């Protein structure tokens, strides 16, 4: 029971972050959750919990989705990377998966903190097309392995000049589609069965609470301050994964 309550708290915090910004639920929950639980055990449940959250926001914000960007660029590159990631993930051992994920998250967190703290007024630079595409391919790779392609995809979209609502709605549509496919793979692979289904149902009530909290924060809290706090938590958690 204590383990379930701990995981519920992590899920609420992580999914509030995604409801606010459009990304971060699985990467935050997995980074923090891996300090207490096996990554491969909680990942399918976290992916399943992500779907109702994304579905609700995509339905409400569907008019803000950038469909040409979503279907013409993001999904083709991320789908390719995701297939490669799934094939690699099944060959990685527990310690390798844990430390590799920790190194990945630490790198992204430090990179983001560098700019948030030292260059807060920087203007987004237009990346070359191949650079943006490479980031999307990497996002798909990371998503296939860790279901956590958000940091890399944010890097890919950083120079697109998307408005806040368009950015959030488009990202939610990405996760809805890719996580739906990923959950199907987990079911086929036997990683989302009876025990995982029960855990999913017990944790499901945290999602509407996270939706309400995230939507409230989306309009009232400085996103820069929130992201600084978030990246500090991720960096400290990633360091713990590496020890």
**Confidence tier at 122 by pLDDT (50, 70, 90):** low
pLDDT at position 126 over 60: no
pLDDT at position 192 over 70: yes
Sketch the domain layout of the chain as residue ranges: 2-242
Residue located via tokens 């996580």: 179
Residue 59 is predicted with a pLDDT of 92
d(CA 4, CA 171): 28
User: pLDDT for 164-188, tens place per residue?
Assistant: 788 889 988 999 999 999 999 999 9
User: pLDDT for 225-241, tens place per residue?
Assistant: 777 877 787 787 778 76
- The rounded Cα 182 to chain-centroid distance in angstroms is 13
């Amino acid at each position: 029971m204590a383990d379930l309550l701990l995981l519920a708290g992590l899920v609420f915090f992580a999914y509030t972050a995604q409801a606010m910004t459009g990304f971060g639920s699985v990467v935050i929950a997995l980074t923090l959750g891996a300090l207490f639980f096996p990554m491969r055990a909680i990942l399918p449940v976290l992916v399943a919990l992500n779907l109702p959250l994304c579905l609700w926001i995509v339905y409400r914000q569907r008019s803000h989705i950038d469909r040409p960007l979503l279907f013409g660029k993001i999904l083709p590159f991320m789908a390719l990377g995701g297939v490669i990631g799934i094939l690699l993930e099944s060959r990685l051992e527990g310690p390798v998966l844990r430390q590799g994920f920790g190194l990945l998250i630490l790198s992204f967190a430090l990179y983001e903190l560098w700019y948030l703290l030292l260059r807060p007024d920087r203007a987004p630079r237009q990346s070359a097309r191949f650079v943006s595409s490479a980031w999307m391919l990497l996002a798909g790779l990371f998503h296939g392995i860790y279901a956590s392609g958000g940091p890399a995809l944010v890097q890919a979209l950083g120079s697109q000049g998307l408005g806040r609502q368009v950015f959030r709605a488009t990202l939610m549509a990405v996760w809805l589609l890719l996580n739906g496919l990923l959950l199907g793979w987990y079911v086929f692979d036997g990683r989302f069965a009876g025990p995982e289904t029960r855990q999913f149902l017990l944790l499901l009530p945290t999602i509407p609470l996270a939706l309400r909290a995230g939507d409230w924060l989306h309009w009232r809290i400085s996103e820069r301050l929130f992201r600084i706090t978030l990246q500090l938590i991720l960096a400290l958690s990633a360091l713990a994964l590496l020890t």
